[in-house]
Amino acid sequence: MPEETFVIVGASLAGAKAAETLREEGFRGRVVLIGDEIERPYERPPLSKGFLLGKEPRDKAHVHEPDWYDKHDVDLRLGARVDGFDRVGHEVRLASGERLGYDRLLLATGASPRRLDVPGAKLQGIHYLRTMSDSAALREALSPGGRRVVVAGAGWIGMEAAAAARGYGNDVTVIEPEPAPLYAAVGPEIGGVFADLHREHGVDLRLDQGVAGFWGAGQVSAVVTSGGAEVPADVVVVGIGVRPNTRLAEEAGLEVSDGILVDQSLCTSDPDVYAAGDVASAYHPLLGRRIRVEHWANALNGGPAAARAMLGREVSYDRVPYFFSDQYDLGMEMSGVAGPGEYDEVVYRGDVPGREFVAFWLSAGRVVAGMNVNVWDVTGDVQELIRSGRQVDRSRLADPKVSLAGLG
């Protein structure tokens, strides 16, 4: 009987953890892990945190040691581009002309930054932050300090980049079309907390306005806002979100809608093809709807879940979405989904002005998300509250003397 071959497209965190799980679960067939970067698989949080800040070495971001892939008989193909795949013939086509047969295929192709399509967008000095090389280039631009930095977009990447830029001693302006930072992720209430945090650290927040263009003679020298203001800039960081890399899936005829559509076992509309990480729009059993999660924990846990499903294990991927961020002296962990329209009130426990609190987003009296800010070892309890789906007593939820474990 021919050896089974599992091919993973995307040498990402999700892809690398899927390969690791296949071996841990006893799969003895061929595992091929293909990535278009020349960097071996790495985690992305350090790119906007420790590595960008110069506090962590490059190697700390890597998922495995250099010799792990050989030791575990994983055929790691770096700097290799996949042009497409044939679902009928069960073949992956590489740009080199090589064709790889597969029995199961995992698409862990991730996402790409949304680009600003405005005048001057191709000037030098305009940075996007997605890859290790992006982070290294941005760190080089920020680390001398004393530069005028403009950040377009006040999402998580934008706000972490702004904090890093201030940490290096640069002047920072953030331009954001929404009325608060992180508006789409946490709403205006907690967005206001982060606005105050950055203003206290000297960031000039320009809210309710976007970027209309850039000025410069080869090198960017100013950003033009939608209100007509010109903001001087030596360095620009654009963080306006990402688009899932669905081209391969679309061309192969898989179902796609803001990501590759997968069921709760991360299987696509083809029973031999799976998707995990940023690119997957998965049915979430707990939420009762599809959701595409772009955060680190989803790649960390989604890759292994897909691997087990590929091996025929029963899988119901229902992890509560989780994210963490460090900005200045504020550290936080967030669980659940809390964008506008997802909740009807926010309840606080602890010291909000002192930035040592837990925030809970409620919908019809049920906790749908929670964020612990400079409060630790409560994530498990917060997630259990979300999972329980029970209505909670708001006064007890807000009382630090009441154990969270007793509310779920």
pLDDT tens column, 64-87: 999 999 999 999 999 999 999 999
Same domain, 32 and 76: yes
User: Which H/E stretch holds residue 101?
Assistant: strand 99-101
Q: What is the pLDDT of residue 339?
A: 86
CB–CB of 214/122 below 8 Å?
no
Cα-based distances in Å from 361 to 52, 129, 335: 31, 29, 10
What is d(CA 323, CA 164) in angstroms, rounded to the nearest whole number? 18
pLDDT tens by residue, 29-55 = 999 999 999 999 999 999 999 999 999
* Residue where a domain stops, chosen among 212, 240, 268: 240
CATH of the domain at 161: 3.50.50.60
Beta bridge partners of 326: 331
Share of the chain above pLDDT 90, in %: 98
Same domain, 202 and 258: no
Does any domain span residue 326?
Answer: no
Q: What is the pLDDT of residue 79?
A: 97
What is d(CA 145, CA 169) in angstroms, rounded to the nearest whole number? 5
Same domain, 97 and 119: no
Closest CA to 320 of 276, 273, 369: 369
**What pLDDT band is residue 405 in, cutting at 50, 70 and 90?**
confident
The values of phi and psi at residue 268, to 5°, are -80, -170
* Residue where a domain stops, chosen among 240, 257, 287: 240
Mean pLDDT score, 376-401: 95
- Which residue has tokens 């259990």? 384
Beta bridge partners of 127: 237
Question: Rounded to a whole number, what is the distance in angstroms from the first to the last CA of the chain?
Answer: 51
Cα-based distances in Å from 38 to 6, 8, 45, 205, 212: 21, 16, 19, 37, 35
Does any domain span residue 328?
Answer: no
Tally Cβ neighbours within 10 Å of residue 125.
Answer: 18
CATH of the domain at 372: 3.30.390.30
Same domain, 121 and 236: yes
The answer on pLDDT for 160 being more than 60 is yes
Same domain, 222 and 136: yes
Same domain, 228 and 290: no
What is d(CA 66, CA 50) in angstroms, rounded to the nearest whole number? 21
Does any domain span residue 323?
Answer: no
* Beta strand spans in 242-378 (E): 242-244, 260-262, 273-275, 280-284, 289-291, 322-327, 330-336, 345-351, 356-363, 366-373
Same domain, 41 and 123: no
The answer on pLDDT for 206 being more than 60 is yes
Closest CA to 45 of 322, 355, 381: 322
Can you give the residue range of the structural domain that contains 363? Answer: 333-406
pLDDT tens by residue, 276-327 = 999 999 999 999 999 999 999 999 999 999 999 999 999 999 999 999 999 9
Mean pLDDT score, 129-155: 98
- What's the CA dihedral at 63, 260, 153, 166 to 10 degrees? 0
Q: What is the pLDDT of residue 408?
A: 62
In the chain, how many domains are there?
3
Does any domain span residue 320?
Answer: no
Mean pLDDT score, 391-406: 93
CB–CB of 404/378 below 8 Å?
yes
User: Which H/E stretch holds residue 213?
Assistant: strand 211-217
Q: What is the pLDDT of residue 35?
A: 98
Same domain, 347 and 399: yes
Same domain, 71 and 120: no
Q: What is the pLDDT of residue 407?
A: 82
Looking at per-residue confidence, does 160 or 3 come out higher? 160
Same domain, 19 and 91: yes
Beta bridge partners of 173: 150, 204
Does any domain span residue 322?
Answer: no
If DSSP codes are grouped into helix, strand and coil, which group holds residue 105? Answer: strand
The answer on pLDDT for 360 being more than 90 is yes
Does any domain span residue 154?
Answer: yes
Beta bridge partners of 334: 323, 371
Same domain, 232 and 251: no
Mean pLDDT score, 94-108: 97
Query: What is the CA 194 to chain-centroid distance, rounded?
Result: 19
pLDDT tens by residue, 332-359 = 999 999 988 999 999 999 999 999 999 9
Same domain, 375 and 280: no
Does any domain span residue 66?
Answer: yes
DSSP string, 309-349: HHTT------PPPEEEEEETTEEEEEEE--STTS-SEEEEE
Mean pLDDT score, 184-191: 96
Q: What is the pLDDT of residue 48?
A: 97
Does any domain span residue 315?
Answer: no
